[in-house]
Amino acid sequence: MKTHESSDLADPPKTLWGILKQLGPGLIIAGSIVGSGELIATTAVGAEAGFLLLWLIIIGCLIKVFVQIEFGRYAITSGRTTLDGLNEVPGPRLRVNWLCWFWLVFIVVALIQLGGIIGGVGQALAIQQPLTESGEVVNAREDAVIQIKVADSIADRFGEDEAMAPVMEKLAVEKADAQKVLSGFEGKEQVVSHDSMLWASLVTIVSIVLLVIGRYRLIQNVSTALVASFTLVTIINLFYLQALPEWRVSWADLVDGMSFRIPEGKGLTVALAAFGIIGVGATELIQYPYWCLEKGYAKWTGPRDDSPEWAERAKGWVRVLRWDAWCSMVVYTFATVAFYLLGAAILGRTGLDPSGDQMVRTLGQMYVPVFGSAAQAVFLFGAFAVLYSTFFVATASHARVCADALRVFGVSKGGEASYRAWVRGFCIGLPLLFLASYAFFKAPKELVLAGGFMGALMLPMLGAAALYFRYRRCDERLTPSRVWDVGLWISCAGLLVAGVYAFYTKMVEMMGGYGFSRAVSDRG
């Protein structure tokens, strides 16, 4: 990384407007968060668990911010990267720290996870603009299948309610039309479309060009605006859903969601996988300090010394950091809760599962009750915005972390020129890896949740690293309050519980599911 010159020093802003103008890293991370965590993982939890896990979703957004800020504080006051910090944590070493080796395993799965994101982008574009005749046929067939499922679900819930008669009559007509469409496919060979893969390949190529020539700042600004717009549309959608008796979210649903109960079946397993993604996940916790360094917080603070001037600058820029982290938390928490409630209210009640090649099409049903015939265009525009923003930001972020990892592991010689060269190389190689993972697995939701599971395992280790930064690397002049320390310990305890339980449930699943868990309980 660059050395800091005295001319780089800058006094931190003292006014609210001045602080707001210096925000940035958290908003970049928020743009990445909304795509995989909110749009895919959170709605999947709502579809499988209903409203019951609303409490866990909210905690998942709030609990990690303390660790995020502690990582950022380390970067600002030391001028060093996340992997440098992880490499300092006590424990066994083999060339590098044990934590860095676990990060290497984690990042492989996290990178494959991005295949689910580019797959979602391809699906959105294939639905909106099919490239082949088979793509048009598949669109018509799958739209009809979903329409019938929705109609049957509402009939099961409100078939005896006379007040719902007009709605039921309309749905009966729509179901009959959908059945006519499906009847046209009877006796014919099942048509398979590769349009999503074609679109994903095209988007990948364009992204590589933009990343390599350095146009990502412009794209990120546009993507951030699109993500903010779609988040607002989602909140408006949830608001107007309250006017529809067949879909509204009642107070009883919210009370049920905040009852701190655990659902039966696979709901909790999916939730814990989502816990690793929603809000600031393990990936974003690691990436956040890199964006803080690129923003200039550490450069403006300067190398640590014993002078009171340095302490004042550090306190000021850490204050800006806190504003940055908490403001971004408010943004993605509102988005997360809105997506979760929509997933529970519509997908959960209709039994629709946003997975496989029809993930994006299924997610689009969350907007049909309010936007009607315009729902597909509204949702596909938003889905493309948030998923592509995630893909683009995540690629740029992973490229920086991976380039730095080569230095930490001793593979590259280090230095700014070498670092930038490796960043450009990863901007080419990583998107191709993401595309290949989607082509091989063809399961966007499963890829995203797999990355979430590994993220849940990584979270307790990042919590331990945050405690190490707080008590072994924090300058005494920047010591936070006891209230802050309590929040940090609660945060780390929550990350530990999520990681241990995710590991336990995966072991139970691998060793025979119910039979293994029953044997354990019998011995107990």
Rounded distance between C-alpha atoms, residue 367 and residue 379, angstroms = 7
Domain boundaries, the chain: 6-132+194-523
State the DSSP H helix or E strand holding residue 97, giving kind and residue range, or none if neither. strand 96-97
Handedness of CA 354, 356, 358, 359 (dihedral sign): positive
> Is the per-residue pLDDT at 110 higher than 70?
yes
Q: Is 94 helix (H, G, I), strand (E, B) or coil?
A: strand
Percent of the chain with pLDDT over 70: 85
Measured CA distances, 268 to 78, 260, 315, 405, 414 (Å): 39, 12, 40, 34, 43
Rounded distance between C-alpha atoms, residue 349 and residue 2, angstroms = 54
pLDDT value for 356: 67
Residues in the chain: 524
CATH class of 6-132+194-523: mainly alpha
Residues 6 or more apart in contact with residue 441 via CB below 8 angstroms: 112, 115, 447
Give me 366's structure tokens.
């969350």
Comparing 477 with 453, the larger pLDDT belongs to: 477
pLDDT value for 141: 86
Q: Report the chain's mean pLDDT, rounded to a whole number.
A: 82
Residue-wise pLDDT for 244-273, tens only, equals 887 889 999 999 989 888 777 666 666 666
Comparing 373 with 35, the larger pLDDT belongs to: 373
**Average pLDDT, stretch 142-152?**
84
pLDDT value for 3: 45
Residue-wise pLDDT for 280-301, tens only, equals 778 889 989 998 998 899 999 9
pLDDT value for 34: 67
Give me 378's structure tokens.
């509204």
Rounded distance between C-alpha atoms, residue 101 and residue 89, angstroms = 12
What pLDDT band is residue 349 in, cutting at 50, 70 and 90?
A: confident
Q: What is the pTM of this model?
A: 0.79
Q: Is 280 helix (H, G, I), strand (E, B) or coil?
A: coil
pLDDT value for 316: 95
